[in-house]
Structures are given as C-alpha cells and as structure tokens.
Chain A
Amino acid sequence: MGEAGQQLKNKDIVGIKDLSLEEIELILDTAVGFRDVLRRDIKKVPTLRGKTVVNLFFEPSTRTRTSFELAAKRLSTDVINFSVSASSVVKGESLIDTAMTIQALGADVVIIRHSSSGVPHLLARHLKASVINAGDGINEHPTQALLDAFTIMEKNGAVRGLRIAIVGDILHSRVAKSNIYCLRTLGAEVRLIGPPTLIPEGLVDPDIEVFHSMEDGLRDADVVMMLRIQMERQDTGFFPTTDEYFRLWGLTRERLALAKPGATVMHPGPMNRGIEIASDVADSAQSVILEQVTNGIAVRMAVLYLLSGWRSGD
C-alpha cells in the first residue's frame, strides 16, 4: 500500500491540478492494495481506528457520499454524515463557522461537496483537518478522476499512450475537468467531443483536440468517457432539445463501432439513458460503469489512508 516513506505533499486533496504524477501514481498504487482487501471475505481493516471522518455535503449526493462512507468504515474510522438540510446552515450559519464547528468536534478528515468552486480550498486554508474535495461547483472532482484512471488501468494495463475521448457537457462537468488533468498527467491523449456551447474556449490548448462531430471524434478511441447531461443546468439553452442532443452526440452502438474494437465505455453516473448514452451500450460488455463504482471505494480508502498518515515537513 505505497512504499514506506512515500507520502502526499499537502494535507489536503482539493484538485488533481495540484497533484504531481508521483502523487497520482502513489494513490493508484495504494488503491491496488485496498482493492484486494475489498475482494476478501472480511472487507474491513483496522488501519485508521480512532480517526474521525466527516462527510460535509452541501449538495445532494448519494453515490459519492456512500462511497466515501463505506471507504471510511472499511478503514475502521468513525464516520459522520453532516447533512446540510438538517444543520444550522439552513439557519444562515456561515461556511467557515460550520467548518470550524466540525473541526471542534474532532474531525481528522473533512470530505466536502459544495456547489461553489473553491470551497474546499477555502476550508483547507482554515482547517487543521485534512480536506478532501468531493466535488466543488464546476471545478474539480478529484477522487472521481482517480477512480476512473484506476479503472482504465485495470482494463487497459496502463493509461500512457491511450486515446481517450471525453464526450458531452465539459463546461459544467467537474468530473471532466479532473479527468483531463489526471489523464494528461498520466500520459494519455485526451480529446473532447460535444457542442461548442458546452466546451469552454479556455480549456482548449494545442494538445487537446476538440471535435464537434461524434463520428470524427470517436475514431480509434481506446476509451470513451461519457458525461451526464446535467438537466438542471440546461435552462439557458446550451442545445435545443435532448432529442436533438441524442441524435448528434448520443453514444449508440453504431457510433461506438467507430472506436477501437472493444473500446472501454465509461460513465460517472447517474446516467440519462436515451439522452447521452443508449441503453444497449450502457449495458454492453464494453461498459465498465459498475466497475467504476466498485473501484471508487478502493481509491477513496487509499486517499483517506494517505492523508491520515500525512505529516508536514516529513
């Protein structure tokens, strides 16, 4: 589970763009060990007994929160879900006050999800506890990118040299942003496919190819990573209708055939079947969507484990 002496440079994981290649590799290597633990009959280890982990979620989430909760429990920590609707936040408490309260309760690790970008960074500056970003606004979702990289490695052996197409609403997707940083650091060729309204101009650098046609973009891809069309964000008309979206950018069996034979199909969930992905593709043998969920626990155990051992200046 990581070489002795190796550790992360910071007490927090707020974004992939702050991690080095070595740190990403350390997390992925560490996760291999935990995946093996999860395959045992008894899936729990006493590694972090006595530590307290708090899930501080300001946005509704089931899968990410549950995944972190399970990861924390498998490591024998005490884990608390701080549910925002039931807390004083609805009474108007400031973010900093909420976070300081949680720190005063003795949290060692705070896992934060918030609709505003930069909130994990703000908390990381104010808290002694380690902060893990579980999704901030339209900025990053680092553990999702790590579990995606882990899954790609499991399927393809390595990330380096792979051609990976990310398809859909790049603009609003923190998953896409973290994946772009992570996969490029790991040596993949990343290309983006989607309507111009959903691919921000500022993201495009000479090394990232952008395609507005699925047929062109999918050609010879090793991995096709679909993104969720976030219906709640489409109120200002980034595309005319979901029917038209599926017609132009939906992943169908015919289109998938343009990618490399046996190309890996991914989706961070929750899926909109018939909008960004056809059901038969989602359920096909090429899809690793459920493996992504399973691997999420191992990767999050690795992150919790590495941060719990973090000491400044070591």
Chain B
Amino acid sequence: MKKGLNLLIRNGHIIDPSQGMDGKGDLLIEDGRIRELEIRDSEFKTQDSRFKIQNSRLEIIDASGLYVLPGLVDMHVHLREPGYEYKETIKTGTMAAVRGGFTTVCCMPNTKPVNDNETVTEFILRKAYAEGACYVYTIGAITKGQKGEELAEMGMMRDAGCVAFSDDGFPVMNSLLMRRALEYSRVFGVPVISHAEDAGLSAGGVMNEGALSVRLGLRGIPAAAEVVMIKRDIELAALTGGRLHIAHVSTAGGVRAVREAKKAGIAVTAETCPHYFTLTEEVVYGYNTNAKVNPPLRTERDVEALKEGLADGTIDVIATDHAPHHMDEKLCEFDKAASGISGLETALPLCLRLVEEGVLSMRDLVEKTALNPAMITGIERGSLRKGAAADVVLLDPDREFTVDPEGFASMGRNTPFGGWRLRGRPVAVICKGRMHEIDSGAVKQL
C-alpha cells in the first residue's frame, strides 16, 4: 500500500464545478491524491461501490448528509508574517484557514518588510511549506515598498512563486504607474489586483459617508472613492490588455462598473467579501471598531447590488480579506483603530446564507470560493479531478454554532460576528496529505 493518506469518503453530496459534478457519490483518496470519483443517483449500498477496496487499512468515512467539496481557495488574506507576528503568523493564519474550510490561501504583500522582492517571497513560501496547515501562495507588491512610486521586481517574484501582484491596502494613485504595471504584467500572464480607492476622496475617512457618518461625527469615505478607481483601472485594462482583478468590491457603483466592463469584453474579474454582502454600516453604531474595515461597510442598497452581482456572475470570487489585528489595535479611538476583520473562520457559513436566500446555488458558491479564485491566480487547485492533490472539505450544512472569537484559531479576534448564530460548518478538511477533524467525533467512520 501507499504511505500517504488513504481514505474512502462514501455517500456524500459531491460538488465539483471543474468537472460539472453535482450529486451523491463516493470519493477515493490514495496516497494523498484523488484516485477515483463516482456520482451515483441511487442511495448508497456498501456492496454497490465499484471501487475495489484492496487496502484493508483504508479508512472509510460515511459522508451521508455532508457536502464533499474541493478545498476552498481564498485569494485574499493577510498572514502578517514576516513583521507583524503579534497579529498573526503563517502557522495560526493557515490553521484558521483550515478551520474555515480553506485549503489554499494567497497572502497579500503588506508585511514588514513588504513582499516586494524574491527574498521575502521565498521566506514566506519556505515557512508556509514547513509550518502551514494549508497551501500558501504569495501575492507580490506592484510597487517597491507599496509606496506607489516605482515598479517592484515582478519578474523575479513571479519566478519565486508569486501568483498575482497587488499593493493591497494602498491604491496605486499614479495612473501612469498603474498603466505600466498592467502592461508589464502581461509578460507573466498574472493578474494585477487593484485596491480601488481614490486616496484623495477617502482621506481621513473611517466609515461609509452618509447620514450615519454625520450622525456619529465620523469622517466618511464616499462610495465614489471606490467607483472612480474601479473605472480608472478598467480603462487602463482596456488600454493595455493587462489582466485586472478588483479586490473587495463594496459598492453598487463598483458592481455596475465591472458589469459594464465585462459586457465590453475587457479582461476584468472581481471579488467581494462576506462582510460586504452580510453587514451594513449600521454595525458601526456605538463606535464599534470591529466593524471598521477598508473599504468600509456600506448600505442596504450596496448589499443588494453585491448580491445581484454575485448572482449574475459580475462578481467572480468571494474572498475573506482576512485581516487579523491585535486586541489593543481595536480597543481604542475609532479614528485610530486598525481596519480589518478576521474573516477566515466565519466566511463559509456566511456564504451559505446566500444559498439559503436563493442568491447562489451550492455549485455557484463552490465556483466563487474554489474554482474561480484558482483559475484567476492560475493555481492548480479548487478541483476534485483525478490525480489532483486531495484538497477536500466535508461540510455539514445544518450544523449550527455560535461564533466565539475567543475560540478562533486565528490570533485576530476582531470580528463583528461574535455571538452570531450561524449554520453550516466544515466537519473535516483534507489538506497537505492529512485530515483535520474540525469538530472531534463529527466524522463518522464505517
């Protein structure tokens, strides 16, 4: 027998958009790779399986009542290492990913030092290989030090393993430089990810601009700060033929701009995050710093537009923008508080609400959280096809739980969802050749 993970997962509801699979069936993992996959319409009977079980030490799991999905891919996380290990480490961040059902994450370059050269890229990848609970891919900076002044060494970072480039956290305000980035990146065929924010319009702002920001006396960031930048970058993508991906779309105007660009045939993809389609600015009330995030939480109108954009395919990806922070960075003045939400461990159940509401089918959801982010970044993951590494999530869609930030694997407990009652949780995640049981005893063996 083979040394690696050997596992037969029976009678689960397998969904794999990469192969158009959606139905009850069995999945055989041998030596940590997908060996066989079968969809059956009839109910499971032990003797019926056509998989020949020659290996007596093969572990068999009863997945009836569970979804069997490709491991989710989050193309937008902040792992904070190197430099901000007091917020999160590669180890804790990837553990949080696995607990949330993600087997692959792409980490943004705003570390200290910034991931703007191959040395930092190599450091992160080496560390992730050794300590990461899931697979880690790196996103390199567009500009040196994320300063928006000159291009970083994209080619060398690409060689070292970077799958995309972004100055996430900061916009590239200089339009000429953004043009050059979109042009130059065509050599490598990787996307440039835009943090779409006009820094002039957003200057000093800490929440969405509107009646509530006036009522709270907080400085606002108008929706236009995002929309004008998305529109600029779309024009630059059209001009250059570069591949543009818009990070964390939060506004109705942003959705509209991307929709029109796609109609015009411009190479643009877009993502949003669970907090943008779940929450509105109202959560900021009471100066709740856990609801401070950039771009800011918007209005009901924007939430509805994001859902429409997800439903009609304008928005390709749901990413978490997992942004862990230390408690002290949130327990302070709202103006001074760090922006961001620790999102990996609540993302999947929040996405399942969209399925419950009829916005997305389960298959759409897997596309937006596994297949599409893998395709956009050119990562060979997010699929259960034969021969692929076994990145698999067993999801119990009915398991209810109360969000307890103190119980997070992430060091960042900064979430506005603390105390929320959510439904749907991974019970087991298979990744890097081993199975993580999320809730002990939840996996039924045969």
Contact = CB atoms under 8 A, between A and B. Distances in A.
A95 B333 contact: yes
A196 interface: no
B328 interface: yes
Contacts of B332: 94-96, 122
Nearest to A120: B287
A201 B222 CA distance: 11
Contact of B336 (A116, A140, A200, A236): A116
Interface string A18-57: 0000000000000000000000000000000000000000
Interface of A: 17, 94-96, 114-119, 121-122, 136-140, 174, 177, 200-203, 236
Given A118-B287, A139-B217, 8 more contacts: A17-B215, A95-B333, A116-B334, A116-B335, A139-B216, A139-B218, A140-B217, A202-B210
A202 B209 contact: yes
Nearest to A203: B214
A118 B216 contact: yes
Contact of B214 (A94, A121, A136, A200): A200
Given A94-B328, A118-B333, A177 B217 contact: yes
Interface in B274-312: 286-287
Q: Which 6 A-B pairs have the closest CB atoms?
A: A139-B217, A118-B287, A117-B217, A202-B214, A116-B333, A202-B211
Contacts of A114: 333
Contacts of A202: 209-215, 220
B218 A118 contact: yes
Nearest to B287: A118
27 contacts: A17-B215, A94-B328, A94-B331, A96-B332, A116-B333, A116-B334, A116-B336, A117-B217, A117-B335, A118-B217, A118-B333, A118-B334, A119-B333, A122-B332, A122-B333, A137-B218, A137-B335, A138-B217, A174-B217, A177-B214, A202-B209, A202-B211, A202-B212, A202-B214, A202-B215, A202-B220, A236-B203
B287 A121 contact: yes
A85 B328 CA distance: 22
Nearest to A118: B287
A91 to B, nearest CB: 16
B310 to A, nearest CB: 28
B219 interface: yes
A138 B209 CA distance: 14
Interface in B13-30: none
B217 A121 contact: no
A65 to B, nearest CB: 20
Contacts of A138: 217, 219
A119 B332 CA distance: 8
Interface residue range, chain B = 20 to 34
A181 to B, nearest CB: 9
A114 B332 CA distance: 12
B201 to A, nearest CB: 11
A88 B215 CA distance: 32
Contacts of B331: 94, 96
A139 B216 CA distance: 6
B287 A137 contact: no
Interface string B316-351: 000000000000100111111000000000000000
Contacts of A177: 214, 217
Nearest to B214: A202
A117 B210 contact: no
Nearest to B213: A202
A137 B216 CA distance: 10
Contacts of B333: 95, 114, 116, 118-119, 122
Interface string B389-424: 000000000000000000000000000000000000
Interface in B174-230: 203, 209-220
Given A94-B328, A137-B335, A117 B214 contact: no
A137 B217 contact: yes
A49 B206 CA distance: 42
Residue from the set A94, A96, A137 with the largest chain B CB neighbour count within 10 Å: A137
Nearest to A114: B333
Nearest to A200: B214
B47 to A, nearest CB: 64
Nearest to B284: A118
A138 B332 CA distance: 17
Contacts of B216: 117-118, 139
A57 to B, nearest CB: 15
Contacts of B209: 202
Contacts of A17: 215
A236 B204 CA distance: 11
A140 B212 CA distance: 14
Nearest to B335: A116
B41 to A, nearest CB: 56
B442 to A, nearest CB: 38
Contacts of A122: 287, 332-334
A200 B211 CA distance: 9
Contacts of B203: 236
B219 A121 contact: no
Contacts of A236: 203
Best-surrounded residue of A17, A136, A202, A203 (most CB of chain B within 10 A): A202
A204 to B, nearest CB: 9
A199 to B, nearest CB: 10
Nearest to A121: B287
Contacts of A200: 214, 220
A160 to B, nearest CB: 24
Contacts of B328: 94
Contacts of B219: 138
B212 A117 contact: no
Contacts of B218: 117-118, 137, 139
